[in-house]
Amino acid sequence: MAIKCIGILTSGGDAPGMNAAIRAVTRTAIYNGYKVKGIMRGYHGLVTGEIVEFKSQSVSNIIQKGGTILKTARSKEFRTEEGRRQAYENMKAEGIDALVVIGGDGSLSGAQQFAEEFDVPIVGLPGTIDNDVDGTDETIGYDTALNTIVDAVDKLRDTASSHERLFFVEVMGNTAGYLALNGAIASGAEAAIIPERETEVDQLADLIHNGFRKSKNSAIVLVAENKATGGALGLAERIKKEFPEFDARVTILGHLQRGGSPTAKDRILASKMGAMAIEALSEGQRNVMIGIKNGELVYVPFKKAIAHSQQMDLKDLDIVKILSM
């Protein structure tokens, strides 16, 4: 069946650049003769029927804005067969023939299941600050979040240099340490504690015993939020008990990392991916995510995108260590 109308939704945690992607999808679709409908509040809005028609002017003046004009929400209903059936009925009632889903691995997992159950053509865009989607070198929002972290650490270093303290800065990335590791490299932090190494070494003990303060009177350590380590607060508690000679302080950046105007890099990435999503649907592609590999946009099957098989290069931890001497 020929596609005449395309629906767009954003799902999961918001990421800077989502609006640039919405703009690109909308205008490229209209340019190619498709109707466009915006689905509010992610899969929840698909279940409840919160769907509005989008014109070119609907996405005017949004490329510079953080967040998502389509809003985002979790949906318990969409996780049930009944809920997905209702979502499909609402989609057909609105005349939507295909979907573009912008979100992280959870959103893409939902897209894969929905596509398989109801034979719906869906193209995904990787929108998450964690950069933890397989098949793509970068995700929409990652670069902006990284710059937010670097800016915060730069400010923190001003006070760190005035006190002889160990500063733990917690960043997002529950299962992926990209923000912590690359944030540490970019900000000149003394160490990064990441989920990828939690099973092979006691990272805190390693940090202390390697004498991080041999040549410095203060140190900044980036910590990925993580249940296994307890995050920055858990590590600070360990310092009190196991290494009381050190004075530890904690800064949790939290949702600050998701906000702000997207960087030029994120705007360009989101715009190119958004345009490519429409090209993919026009070519008959389905159940694929648009990724970027070695500077080239590529199609990534949903199954690969959500596989969690992508490995981080842990050699970069050595760079942090060497450069912080």
Active site residue 130: yes
Looking up residue 169, the CATH number of its domain turns out to be: 3.40.50.460
Task: Identify the CA nearest to 92 among candidates 71, 118, 66, 54.
Answer: 118
Give pLDDT tens digits for 209-233. Answer: 665 555 556 789 999 998 877 889 9
For the chain, the straight-line distance linking the first and the last C-alpha, in angstroms and rounded, comes to 62
pLDDT the model gives residue 225 = 92
Task: Write out the H or E segment, with its range, that includes residue 131.
Answer: none
In a domain, 239, yes or no: yes
pLDDT the model gives residue 305 = 95
pLDDT the model gives residue 163 = 72
Catalytic, out of 14, 105, 130, 132: 130
Domain extent, residue 84, equals 5-141+262-305
- Are the beta carbons of 220 and 235 closer than 8 angstroms? no
Q: Which residues of the chain have pLDDT under 50?
A: 200
Does 9 share its domain with 133?
A: yes
**Residue that is written with structure tokens 């809003």 in the block:** 71
pLDDT the model gives residue 212 = 57
- Are the beta carbons of 260 and 152 closer than 8 angstroms? no
Total-model pTM: 0.93
CB atoms within 10 A of CB 131: 25
CB atoms within 10 A of CB 24: 24
Indicate left, alpha or beta for 99 from its phi (over 0: left) and psi (-120 to 50: alpha): beta
Does 74 share its domain with 131?
A: yes
- Residue type for 57, please? Q
Does 89 share its domain with 75?
A: yes
Structurally, the chain folds into a number of domains equal to 2
Q: How far apart (Å, rounded) are the C-alpha atoms in residues 2 and 4?
A: 6
Looking up residue 301, the CATH number of its domain turns out to be: 3.40.50.450
- Are the beta carbons of 118 and 81 closer than 8 angstroms? no
Task: Identify the CA nearest to 204 among candidates 238, 157, 180.
Answer: 238
pLDDT the model gives residue 213 = 52
Does 206 share its domain with 232?
A: yes
| Torsion angle, alpha carbons of 185, 190, 194, 197, to 10 | 110
Does 134 share its domain with 204?
A: no
Does 34 share its domain with 134?
A: yes
Sign of CA dihedral 196, 233, 132, 143: negative
Distances (CA, A) of 284 to 16, 120, 121, 269, 287: 29, 12, 8, 22, 10
Does 202 share its domain with 254?
A: yes
